[in-house]
Chains A and B, each alone.
Chain A
Amino acid sequence: MSDYILDIDKVDKTFGGLHALADINLKVEKGTVHAIIGPNGAGKSTLLNVCIGKLAPNSGTVNFDGQILTGMHPYQINKAGVVRVFQTPEIFPDLTILQNVMVPAFAKRDGTFTFNFWKSMSAERKIRQEAEHVLEDVGLAEQMHNHSGSMSRGDKRRLEIAMALVQHPKLLLLDEPTAGMSRHDTNRTIDLLKKIKERGMTKVIIEHDMHVVFSLADRISVLAQGRIIAEGTPDEIRGNPKVQEAYLGGAEL
């Protein structure tokens, strides 16, 4: 069907003897939030790594918006409109918070390579405004001239979300966006992600925190030992005894 923006087709990945991903089929509908949950080591991050070109699958393809991402270079996948927020914050620690957001804004405008060393940064008003705007959205505007290297972990994660949003991706991949955050920060992040949801951006989110998953996701896939064992709406997943057995150890959701 054409309104699937992401179509992961029979993806297989092994590390030595370990079958990290076994015949994964996953379709994500345009404009929805699709959560992938599962115990540690289930292969969730591996799946995202395959999507952004960090890892090559042994077989199978990742199709996105009419293009085959498998085999593309990471920067080409970014250009296709797929942007990932990493699990451990990947920022530019030597730059200021504002500059951290301006770099991806330049990437969006300038393509993979441009060579204009004559125009001063202070003349790049439009890019700066865009970056400031996004920093306001994530609540980092007040400290934007500070060094990013000394931020708290929660702030770094919000900065990373800002770095992704400034590129207006078609598909946003979020790898445990609230891991290690306080309850207060988690709720702030949920609010932020809900705001983006209203803008119609497609999102795939990996998360351990069920509170986050159930307040955001339209559909949920459950991954265990490299296989998808269940898929459905949050209500279906909540009531699925197989999921409760395999993943939640029988605990009530």
Chain B
Amino acid sequence: MSMATPKQDMVTMALFTAAVLSAPLWLSPIGANYPDLLQKFAIYGIFAIGFNILFGLTGYLSFGHAAFLGVGSYTAVWSFKLLSMNVIPAVIFGTLLAGLFALAIGYLSLRRSGIYFSILTLAFAQMCYNLAYSVLTPITNGETGLQLDIGDPHVLDSLFGIEYTGLPSTSLFGLQMTGYSGFYFCAVILILAFFLSLRIFRSAFGMKLRAIKSNQTRMMYTGFNTRPYLLTAFVISGMYAGLAGSLLAVTDPLAGAERMQWTASGEVVLMTILGGAGTLIGPLLGVGLIKYFENIFSALNEQTLHEVFAFLPDWIENLTVAIVNPFVGEGWHLMLGVLFMVIVIFLPGGVMEGIRRIADLPRKFRRKAEKRRQEAEHAAALRAAEEEG
């Protein structure tokens, strides 16, 4: 794996920034340009980028990152209720508190590695989930979920003389976080989060994490205490998850315990593997795929399918719709499952490996052509020698 130069990284950053900010434009042909979905792309993108710092670099597979997502959401909503409807304190507190949780859970879970580490993180996350439903109901509001109330104090806001009539909405110094402004707020944070992850990937710290993934025992005989490295990576990725969780609350100030369930932890694992663990862009592609399926394919039904395939002769149309129908609408999970299996079996490196292979095709063809040419020359030379002899 050759390292990219700083100049190449700057180009990457520029392209990435342009792509994210112009997403509403280039996503419109596939019907994914509405703010609600764009926000989800950005927020889960942050979640997956952070998860990839742990899983992609160190190889430690956490099955409990949804816990940090949930902590971020609850903290953000509490910040809205108690302090201010401004999103800045909500995001900061959400990230920090998730970091503290990650420190505690990571410290305990990292005493083991491999499958045992995964099980420990899963157990902690499920514990958080069940606590949120039961003992912690005063904080989490149980099954109903934590939401804004008319009587909330908003201490900081009233300090600055801001009064609300009715249920207030989240804002960035007066700019309401709804629609496209909400998306652009998440987009800017996504760009910053991506930049930080790029720096980590390119640093000596990132290389040490990769070395731990490659041969952890060797790292200890090389003079490294590996556990603080792993814990740092764990806390960073936990804070990314907390950031994503607080952004979920920014775009919709409501936090429920289901956000912490193991399926949510599993989803980020799927996203990262689907896109390509350990690559910079891969997890984002995974997020795009899964969220697109979840939102677009799930909205398709038999009637829309008939419209799509209307150009076919009637009986083929009916047959195609009958085959495709179970995979869309409520069956979109089936489609996702099939896609996941195909990718893991044929492209263990995820979508990114597919892209790399396609990019390598011209070189492969050239090499093959070169080999054929050499063989032909060789054969010609042999023939010539025979004729002479």
Contact = CB atoms under 8 A, between A and B. Distances in A.
A228 B249 CA distance: 70
Nearest to A120: B202
Contacts of B219: 103
A124 B200 CA distance: 14
Given A92-B211, A95-B1, A113-B229, A167 B223 contact: yes
A75 B220 contact: yes
A132 to B, nearest CB: 14
B220 to A, nearest CB: 5
Contact of B204 (A79, A112, A116): A116
Contacts of A93: 214-215
Given A84-B221, A92-B215, A122 B6 contact: yes
Interface residues of B, number: 32
Contact of A52 (B1, B199, B221): B221
A110 B224 CA distance: 9
B226 to A, nearest CB: 8
Contacts of B204: 102, 106, 110, 116, 119, 121, 124, 127
Contacts of B5: 122
Which of B6, B202, B214, B217: most chain A Cβ within 10 A?
B214
Given A84-B221, A113-B229, A122 B3 contact: yes
Instruction: Please report whether the interface of chain B is mostly helix, strand, loop or mixed according to DSSP.
Output: helix
A121 B1 CA distance: 13
B291 interface: no
Contact of B222 (A104, A114, A145, A147): A104
Contact of A107 (B1, B6, B224): B224
A145 B2 contact: yes
A79 B223 contact: yes
A104 B199 CA distance: 21
B259 interface: no
Contact of B214 (A95, A104, A124): A95
B306 interface: no
A102 B208 CA distance: 10
A87 B1 CA distance: 26
B223 A102 contact: no
Given A95-B211, A106-B204, A115 B223 contact: no
B206 interface: yes
Interface residues of A, number: 42
B176 interface: no
A78 B232 contact: no
A121 B203 contact: yes
B333 interface: no
Contacts of A116: 203-205
A147 B210 CA distance: 14
Interface string A106-148: 1110101111111111101001000000000000000001010
A112 B224 contact: yes
B46 to A, nearest CB: 17
A163 interface: yes
A108 B222 CA distance: 9
By CB atoms of chain B within 10 A, which of A90, A96, A99, A117 has the most?
Answer: A117
B225 interface: yes
A94 B210 contact: yes
Contacts of A117: 199-200, 203, 205-206
Nearest to A149: B214
B207 A95 contact: yes
A72 to B, nearest CB: 12
Given A75-B223, A107-B224, A94 B203 contact: no
B221 A74 contact: yes
B218 interface: yes
Nearest to A114: B205
B203 A90 contact: no
Interface in B230-265: 232
Interface string A28-42: 000000000000000
Contacts of B218: 90-92
18 contacts: A73-B220, A74-B221, A75-B222, A75-B223, A84-B221, A86-B221, A90-B215, A90-B218, A99-B211, A107-B222, A112-B225, A113-B228, A116-B204, A116-B205, A119-B204, A121-B3, A122-B202, A167-B222
Given A102-B204, A117-B203, 10 more contacts: A54-B221, A75-B222, A78-B222, A90-B215, A92-B210, A92-B211, A94-B213, A110-B204, A121-B204, A145-B2
Closest 5 CB pairs of A and B: A78-B223, A107-B223, A92-B214, A112-B225, A94-B214
